[in-house]
A and B are shown apart, each in its own frame.
Chain A
Amino acid sequence: MELETRVYQKESNLRVGRLLRESLIDINKSRFLSFQLAKRDISAMYRQSFLGILWAFIMPLSTAFVWIFLNSSGTVRVTDTGIPYPVYAFTGTLLWSIITEAINSPITSTNGSKSILAKINFPKEALVMSGILKLLFNSSIKVLILIIFVFAFGVGFHWSLLLFPIALFGGILFGTTVGLFITPLGLLYTDVGKMITFGLQLLMYVTPVVYSIPESGIMKTIMEWNPLTPIILTARDLAVGMPPTYLTYFLIVVLGCIPLLFVGLVFYRISIPILVERMSS
């Protein structure tokens, strides 16, 4: 039997194709590990919590309620959104929470496994994958709530709702790609994680999460350039059955993310040994 041979040396082979292939092979080989890690974290989280699953949507719900209240009380006058405002606000905050979770997912799951990273050699990609699995689990619950909202406010069923998961997938893809690129630096410096939380808070206000793009002005330009805009808008349009106006930009962003995701995976793979060396004993 031919034995598998591994070589460790300073020089990393920079053939992106080969690295990517190895990375994908590892992802495939470690399916069980990713699943097991996700299952471990999810069941541990819910076993030690009373409200359990509720936590997944308490945050987006409360943000939505704040805006619904601001709007209905007349404190803030939001331009007409074309659909009942609660549905608009809630779809926005839910989608937003999914995207931010996706961005944070690689760094959180890698950070959470610091101790084993420094002790055991296993396919590191499994950490990213388990993060995505956890994300999918949380998102599926959120989507259920979203669908309930859509029906409760009389928006009703549209066939485009069936395409909604694709838009959601686009959001997760985008988030994971961004997350993979910031993970290596984020593991070295805690500043990065804080900056992400902070930056995302600001970013929310230039994304049509709780209000739509204004007719004119600087805000319109920023929002239209923002790559998160098409993701949120397309997903929402599909969910409530409106014609997706930013479909082209959406497709550009999502298709652009695929090669970038692969680059991110290669970057992650090269970085981990360097990070393990600096992270802990």
Chain B
Amino acid sequence: MSNEVLVKVENVSKKFCKDLKTSLWYGVKDLVSGLKGNKQERKLRPKEFWAVKDISFELRRGECLGLIGHNGAGKSTLLKILNGLINPDAGKVTMKGRVGALIELGAGFNPILTGRENIYNNGAILGFTRQEIDAKMKAIIEFSELEEFLDMPVRNYSSGMKVRLGFAVAAQMEPDVLIIDEVLAVGDLGFILKCFKQIDRILPHTAIIFVSHNMPMVSRICTQIILMEKGQSKFQGEDVSKAIDLYYTRFANNESNVVFDDGSLKLEQVEIPDASYLEGIPQVPWGETLKLKFRFSIKRPMNVPFFGINILDKEQRPVAVLKRNPENSDLEIKDGVLEFIAIHKHLQLSKGLYSINISVSEFVRNNPVLRINSILSFQVNYEEEIWPPFLLQSEFKAVNNSVKSIK
């Protein structure tokens, strides 16, 4: 039972037209050829492009496929094909079981009607019967936490409240295949956590197709992954972390930007000495020493300032900061140049891509002198992918050894 393939996608392609007028005309032609059975092979007509090209995968119960890629890569189009909203131009999709789609929450809501009435509207569109909705009403209201607003017209709801109500109804589905597009982006944190709890609950007995730009989430729940680019699968497989790394290198922003500069010193060079490079990015093995070599030229007489070196993850969230240099260190300015190496031993950041922001300030007065973002990127290497930002050294020691030895 758990091994059956619920979703089978074979060489699916879909083309779209860039021009509206032409698109409509092709629509008329497609209507006619639809009546003839669409037996002939589809080729690109003028002004058309492949929005999805040659995608194949299989998904079993309990598995979760992550679909990632930048905007316009064809993810949503693929989802629409999987959901049966549009037909592919080539290939075949076979879906088994009840398909639930969290593509739009609150479909069928009428703004004039109250929340309670709209629960019925939305439920009906999602395929519930009246009896089912009656039976689940209590659960829906509870999940949405909107009891006091239930008899208010939905047009007075905030967008977050609408999504809450929509998800509360959708959460009652018990699908075999669940398709999730980024619908959970709205809503407050508590609600998002609640949604993921719900998804975690149904995950073991459902095949999930998950589209997201939230990589920690993807690496948390997905068992296989497709990285799409221009409609094609750029990477496909069970190595979720590799796909995520590839995804991030698409956005690798190597350009540093100066946030603040009072003109007193200039960053001439920053590098990781003796590092090996992969695709232009210095590599640091996990557990080794991270060395950052800086060279500043000093434009105005000053004392040695202090340096705040922040490490940010791929999503530009600060994950760590190096302890700043003490006031009386042996750093010194020679011939208008300040050169030093910042060292961090036993690097315990987890595998992934990081970037560095630097802020320079004067001692005592704490005046900012220079702030530059993304002065350097580096990659931490380790065989194992984890999604928390740190992989900490650990030792596990048995405690009952001594007891045994007494015996």
| Interface residues in chain A, defined as those with a beta carbon under 8 Å from any beta carbon in chain B | 3-14, 32-33, 36-37, 40-41, 43-44, 47-48, 115-122, 184-185, 188-189, 267, 270-271, 273-278, 281
Contacts and interface: CB of A to CB of B under 8 A. Distances in A.
Nearest to B132: A32
Given A3-B98, A6-B84, 10 more contacts: A7-B93, A8-B93, A10-B90, A11-B37, A12-B34, A37-B124, A40-B113, A119-B107, A188-B27, A277-B86
B88 interface: yes
B87 A119 contact: no
Contacts of B110: 40-41, 44
Please indicate which of the listed interface residues A36, A37, A267, A277 has the most CB atoms of chain B within 10 Å of its own CB. A277
A271 B117 contact: no
A116 B112 contact: no
> B-side binding surface: helix, strand, loop or mixed?
mixed
Given A6-B84, A11-B39, A188-B24, A120 B125 contact: yes
B308 interface: no
Contacts of A274: 27, 30-31, 34, 86-87
Contacts of A10: 38, 42, 87-91
16 contacts: A10-B42, A10-B88, A12-B37, A32-B124, A40-B108, A41-B110, A44-B110, A116-B125, A120-B85, A120-B103, A121-B99, A184-B31, A185-B28, A188-B24, A274-B87, A278-B27
Nearest to B129: A32
A120 B124 CA distance: 12
Contacts of A270: 34-35
Contacts of B31: 184-185, 188, 271, 274
Contacts of A278: 23-24, 26-27
Contact of B37 (A14, A273, A277): A14
A192 to B, nearest CB: 11
A108 to B, nearest CB: 15
Interface in B202-254: none
A43 B113 contact: yes
> A-side binding surface: helix, strand, loop or mixed?
helix
A6 B34 contact: no
A33 B24 contact: no
Contacts of B97: 3-4
Interface in B96-141: 96-99, 101, 103-104, 107-108, 110, 112-113, 117, 120-121, 124-127, 129-130
B375 to A, nearest CB: 39
A37 B108 contact: yes
Interface residues of B, number: 56
A275 B121 CA distance: 23
Please indicate which of the listed interface residues B86, B90, B91, B99 has the most CB atoms of chain A within 10 Å of its own CB. B86
A32 B88 contact: no
A227 B6 CA distance: 50
A273 B87 contact: yes
Contacts of B24: 188-189, 278
Contact of A122 (B23, B86, B112, B125): B125
B115 to A, nearest CB: 13
Contacts of B98: 3-4
A276 B126 contact: no
A121 B84 CA distance: 7
A24 to B, nearest CB: 18
B81 interface: yes
Contacts of B85: 117-121, 273, 276
Nearest to B14: A277
